[in-house]
Chain A
Amino acid sequence: DTGVSQDPRHKITKRGQNVTFRCDPISEHNRLYWYRQTLGQGPEFLTYFQNEAQLEKSRLLSDRFSAERPKGSFSTLEIQRTEQGDSAMYLCASSLSSANTGELFFGEGSRLTVL
């Protein structure tokens, strides 16, 4: 299967630790998105890349969060000095910029629990 894959699927960490999530998009997709979903909410946009360029960042993405897509393929999302409020499902999605209806293909998510 060549869908979007995310790793790890689950992460439990202590407050103050750093965590990193990885996303491998569908190989021919040039856009990659990160969303965060907390209990009772829909997915909230964090940031997106077109190839290796980070084109938009939400104000939700505090300076403890950083995302990269160094070669325009996989992406990492790092959270430094985690807080309990960072506990959430982190979803990655990819798309083709030429598919101008905006359909996203999602991974299964990385669930973060900060103790």
Chain B
Amino acid sequence: ILNVEQSPQSLHVQEGDSTNFTCSFPSSNFYALHWYRWETAKSPEALFVMTLNGDEKKKGRISATLNTKEGYSYLYIKGSQPEDSATYLCAFYNTDKLIFGTGTRLQVFP
């Protein structure tokens, strides 16, 4: 059974704080690792699709790194804003489907 784990489960930070989350996944038969942001009452939205070991991707204040050999990815948010409050999901791509972790729920207080 393929297992994708995320930590922490939840995080509360003050506006302006930087934060990071971890996703661990099987290191064998790697194909792609996805990060999604899911805001309340909206649809999950893709942030990054990462395929190569050592990949680093950035979108505004959010960035992600990937280590396929040891099976982990980090998501960083620099200078968190209240609008960053959401659940951040990582997903491992395997046999034509995504296997999701349980997510990290981020709340940013003004």
Contacts and interface: CB of A to CB of B under 8 A. Distances in A.
A104 B98 CA distance: 8
Of the candidates B34, B89, B98, the one having the most CB atoms from chain A within 10 angstroms of its own CB is B98
Contacts of B97: 33, 45, 48, 56, 102
Contacts, number: 63
Interface residues of B, number: 27
A3 B93 contact: no
Nearest to A58: B97
Chain A interface size band reads 20 to 34
Contact of A107 (B43, B51, B98): B43
Interface stretch (A12-20, A36-44, A64-72, A73-81): A36-44
B31 A43 contact: no
A42 B51 contact: no
Contacts of B31: 101-102
